[in-house]
Amino acid sequence: MSCRVVLLVTCRTGSDEWCAREIGDVVFGLDNSVVVEKTGFPGLLQVYGCRDVDSIYKRAISREYGFVETIIPVHCIMGLQEVLEERLECIDGLKIPGEVRIRVRMRGVRELSTRVFALVLKNLRSRGVVHTSSADECLFIEGIKDRVYIGLGRCRTHIAIRGG
């Protein structure tokens, strides 16, 4: 199995180094090839691993953290242009339940989140999937410059934080 981006992690403001150490320590117990890197955006890290996304995600969300705020699984990565051209094979390959909450955050390109949300919503509706804010599962669409990271995970917005 090859190593790739398996998680995106957001951190408390100004705590990227501690956050990286925290998430790295948790995931290392499952995948000792884990590497945590900064993305160039404050408070946003990429976690590379060689194990499957779901096992790493499950392990990561089972812990409490002091600096980690959110953990997003990365099931597939697309180019921004592919998304804008509605070539959403990456999303089509996910086992999305009948109801899902769509969460889009596009970084580095202004006013793009609304457009991407509309394209993804159109795709899901054509498959009979309903977007609802009360869904337990979230389809995360995270843009970082010209790359779009897509994952299906739990909707809870924040990880349990020790002492927080």
| pTM score of the predicted model | 0.91
- Of the residues 74, 94, 129, which one is the last residue of a structural domain? 74
Q: What is the pLDDT of residues 108-118, one digit of tens each?
A: 777 899 999 99
Q: What is the DSSP letter of 64?
A: -
- Relative to beta strand 99-107, strand 137-144 is parallel
What is the three-class DSSP state of 90?
A: helix
How many domains does one find in the chain? 2
The predicted structure's pLDDT at residue 108:
78
Nearest to 150 by CA among 138, 160, 163, 140: 140
Contacts (Cβ under 8 Å, ≥6 apart) of 63: 26, 159
111: domain CATH number is 3.30.2300.10
43: domain CATH number is 3.30.70.1650
**Angle between helix 53-61 and helix 16-28 axes, rounded to 10 deg:** 120
The predicted structure's pLDDT at residue 130:
96
- Of the residues 33, 59, 74, which one is the last residue of a structural domain? 74
Q: What is the pLDDT of residues 98-157, one digit of tens each?
A: 999 999 999 977 789 999 999 999 999 999 999 999 999 999 999 998 899 999 999 875
Structure tokens at 137: 């599962």
Q: What is the pLDDT of residues 44-70, one digit of tens each?
A: 999 999 999 999 999 999 999 999 999
Nearest to 69 by CA among 23, 5, 109: 23
